Amino acid sequence: MTDDVVRIDGQRLWASLGELARIGAYVDERTGLTGVNRQALTDEEAEGRRLVAQWFRDAGLAVRVDRIGNVYARREGSDPDLAPVLMGSHIDSVATAGAFDGCLGVLGGLEVLRTFDDLGVVTTRPVEVAFFTEEEGARFGVDMLGSAVAVGRIALADALALTDRSGVSLGDELVRHGFDGPEPERAAPPHAYVECHIEQGPVLAAEGLQVGVVTGVQGISWQEVTIDGRAAHAGTTPTQLRVDAGLAASHVVVRLREMAESGEFGALRATVGEMRFAPGLTNIVPTRAVLTVDLRNPDDDAMARAEDALDAYLHELEERWPGLAVSVRRMARTRHVPFDPEVQKAVATAADDLDLSHRSLLSGAGHDAQELASVCPTAMVFVPGLYDGISHNPREYSTPEACADGISVLATVVRRLAG
Ligand code: GLV
Ligand code: MN
Ligand code: MN
């Protein structure tokens, strides 16, 4: 072991994770488990933002907020003119979350800086930790939003104009909560970006490994499909006379599953996670169906072919049922993002130096890191999750030891990158 290896305080990290998880906590009616619902820029998330920002200040960090509400905290280096090493993730959640997704990267980053203070570590470069706005896309429909704005992939004005299901704009919510910061949203590129995250999948735990070295993130395609048919009385309208939007939507669900299982589109994963019928009444044939389509694929060509095939199928449905009209709204789209080989190597080396078993793996989930990767060398550290790696669910769980191991890897990598 080399003497620049850093071991963080696992108990302090665990306590922070537990305290943040109380904000937005709810009890899942079906299972009785406590989960987290802290969607971006709700009252709950704003409370979480204020708590974490206060923890940043308590740790002596300089806090700044940019125009999309991303919050950065900075520990100065001996050469403050050098670009910082950045850590980060998100504290917003889906409606049915656990305590780890995103929060581990943010509170882990804070724990790294607390540990540097405890150990009297002086880095040459500044080190920063950030939490980014609306990573989940759960409220405003675009994932990795704050980090995408920070790197210039999405324009600030477009992001501010996004609305949630009840028509409230993201810009108004930033103002309401006082997180419409003064800092420019396009930060100068960091020296490097490293994010620690729960794996959200089964691989590491199944193989009994302690750390994942993330090679990149697969492509993500989100679309909202609206199918307009014709409302009709459920009892009096003969089957042959119906233009049933609900039936067409159900065909889409089945077709997507067939596509994913066909092998024709590489390792495609396809999910319809939301489907709403209008008028949504027992005795009326649906006049409209609105469904979301989430496609994931590590292969960009296969992803494009899958999108084309879905498009062709939607046209087929229109031909099959005259009077049916289908329209598609693009919500979000990212390509496969490979991470920097050198930063990956630094993660693997740090794991070795900490005597932690590890393997490389591609991320199935989207992360802020994939946005930062467009402006600086980037990689991620995964920690194993229990229960088949279930995530976006109250059962999401990693152990205190696993979290401490992952954040110790993060601390060691960041210390080395920061000089
Ligand atoms: C982010 O959590 C995703 O949906 O991949
Ligand atoms: Mn996440
Ligand atoms: Mn998530």
CA-proximal residue: ligand 1, atom 1 (nearest): 366
Whats the size of the chain, residue-wise?
419
Residue 342 alpha carbon to ligand 3 centre in Å: 26
Q: What is the DSSP string of 99-155?
A: S-TTHHHHHHHHHHHHHHHHHT---SS-EEEEE-TTSS-TTTS-TTHHHHHHTTSS-
Is residue 194 within 8 Å of residue 87, measured between CB atoms? Answer: yes
Residue 163 alpha carbon to ligand 3 centre in Å: 20
pTM for this entry: 0.95
Q: How confident is the model at residue 187, as a pLDDT?
A: 82
- The span from the CA of 4 to the CA of 413, in Å, is 10
Is residue 76 within 8 Å of residue 84, measured between CB atoms? Answer: no
> What amino acid is encoded at 104 in this protein?
L
Low-confidence ranges of the chain (pLDDT < 50): none
- The span from the CA of 188 to the CA of 375, in Å, is 9
- The span from the CA of 7 to the CA of 406, in Å, is 10
Strand partners, 285: 232
Is 368 a pocket residue for ligand 1 (Cβ < 6 Å)?
Answer: no
Ligand 1 atom nearest residue 294's Cα: 4
Q: How confident is the model at residue 3, as a pLDDT?
A: 85
Residue 212 alpha carbon to ligand 2 centre in Å: 15
**How confident is the model over 60-86, as pLDDT tens digits?**
999 999 999 999 999 999 999 999 999
Residue 143 alpha carbon to ligand 1 centre in Å: 7
- 258 vs 255, 264, 304, 309, 351, CA distance in Å? 5, 10, 17, 12, 40
Ligand 1 atom nearest residue 392's Cα: 2
Ligand 1 atom nearest residue 220's Cα: 5
- The span from the CA of 45 to the CA of 162, in Å, is 17
* CA nearest neighbour of 105 among 193, 11, 4, 205: 193
